[in-house]
Homo-oligomer: A and B are copies of this chain.
Amino acid sequence: MKYSEMSKEELLTLKAELDERYKDSKSKGLNLNMARGKPSATQLNVTMDMLDVINSTSDLKAEDGTDCRNYGVMDGIPEAKKLMADMMGTTPDHIIVYGNASLNIMYDQVSRAYTHGFLGNTPWCKLDKVKWLCPVPGYDRHFAITERFGIEMINIPMSVDGPDMDMIEELVSKDDSIKGIWCVPKYSNPQGFTYSDETVRRMASLKPAAKDFRIFWDNAYVIHHLYDDKQDEILDIISECEKAGNPDMVFEFASTSKVSFPGAGISAMAASKANLDDVKKQLTIQTIGHDKINQLRHVRYFKDINGLKEHMKKHAEFMRPKFEATLEVLDRELSGLEIGSWYAPRGGYFISFDAMEGCAKAIVAKCKEAGVVLTDAGATFPYKNDPKDSNIRIAPSFPTPEEMALAADVFVLCTKIVSIEKILESK
């Protein structure tokens, strides 16, 4: 029965019962963390063999003869370019392989636009105003980068097909101070939505007023499927932009942080030749190059895209039960109550929950009091400000399935109590 259709008395009775259960929960002294998309020890264990493929007897020459132990090579060894290109669905000529963090590439790209401008355009530090489109809910670390550079962020609503393209087309065509958009196009953070073909094609065909408008296409979960049989597919943004006559409009990012080891993986950017040439002008001044031994380690371990896919099946085997345990509790406990909505993603790292308006902060706080830590409410919006105080991100990757079920129990309990309190306010 919908909570909103229950009488005040019914709600109070129910609440008393739930409060009792909450008291029980608290007394258990739980200590569960569903806050960040952090791999579990089990996940890290399946990659340990990677640490054996390079040892003191290895030939550390890349396929083009480069001694990976020495200086040289700014854009990645050829076989690493190929591996990352295949993972991202593009070709090696579009790739620069970087160090251990794609976030660092994104930061540096924004910073470079700010200090030097893209392809000869005015550096953003010389402009009065720079704005950015932010599909919401989204990834807090994206928003932190644009906030750091004083860029004004504009919320764009998301649907299962991706961000609201009508709104985006309208905004970018009229306002040349809008310089970019953050996208997590596949298994989006946090909702797990994948942009439809139409969304990708419309994105690639944008006609921005700003010549230096860039799509920041963070393909973080491109091979992070939960199922063998149900997998989302996404069009290649690089070639779609080429076809639409906008080859320079996109930067695509990916890494193996959630494939091999977070912090010890490799990352890459894909872009047009003009953009890559522009980047390299900075790169040769900024660094002596990235870790080629680690590039070699990744290529020799995974071998090719099929190796990557097989490896990600191992991840899916223990990720899936965590997602399913969580969704089972949400479905069983909250279906039909109309106090929240959620989506069962086919991949990625998160489940996104939309509570009744004005309830997210209270739910997160109540969970915390009972020893269940969630991502801060609001974190999925620019300026940490969720205008509806509704979205909560659940990260099942770190705990065990059993812990996830326990945590989800607490979560639904808190959601029920806070929702009843909200409804009672207006009764």
The residue among A69, A107, A114, A289 with the most chain B CB atoms within 10 A of its own CB is A69
- Within 8 Å CB of A282, what residues of B? 148
A292 sits at the interface (CB 8 A): yes
- Within 8 Å CB of A263, what residues of B? 68-73, 288-293
How many chain copies does the complex carry?
2
Q: Which of B38, B58, B294 contacts A294 (CB 8 A)?
A: B294
Flag if A285 contacts B145 (CB, 8 Å). yes
Among the stretches A97-105, A180-188, A358-366, the one at the interface with B is A97-105
Among the stretches A2-10, A47-55, A189-197, A226-234, the one at the interface with B is A47-55
- Within 8 Å CB of A89, what residues of B? none
A149 sits at the interface (CB 8 A): yes
How distant is A101 from chain B, measured CB to nearest CB, in Å? Answer: 5
Q: Which of B44, B48, B69 contacts A67 (CB 8 A)?
A: B44
A125 sits at the interface (CB 8 A): yes
How distant is A118 from chain B, measured CB to nearest CB, in Å? Answer: 15
A26 sits at the interface (CB 8 A): no
Q: Which of B58, B115, B126, B291 contacts A291 (CB 8 A)?
A: B291
- Within 8 Å CB of A51, what residues of B? 54-56, 58, 293
Flag if B100 contacts A291 (CB, 8 Å). yes
Alpha-carbon gap, A286 to B101, bound state (A): 9
How distant is A262 from chain B, measured CB to nearest CB, in Å? Answer: 4
Alpha-carbon gap, A55 to B288, bound state (A): 27
Alpha-carbon gap, A112 to B56, bound state (A): 39
Alpha-carbon gap, A406 to B99, bound state (A): 39
Alpha-carbon gap, A107 to B126, bound state (A): 20
A371 sits at the interface (CB 8 A): no
Flag if A287 contacts B39 (CB, 8 Å). no
Residue interface bits A62-79, CB-to-B below 8 A is 1, else 0: 000001111111000000
Apart from the given pairs A69-B262, A73-B263, 6 other A-B contacts in the complex at a CB distance below 8 Å: A38-B71, A38-B72, A44-B69, A99-B291, A115-B149, A263-B288
Could you show 9 A-B contacts with beta carbons less than 8 Å apart? A36-B71, A69-B264, A70-B262, A100-B288, A100-B291, A103-B286, A108-B286, A144-B285, A263-B290
7 tightest A-B contacts by CB?
Answer: A264-B293, A125-B125, A48-B56, A107-B286, A104-B287, A71-B262, A44-B69
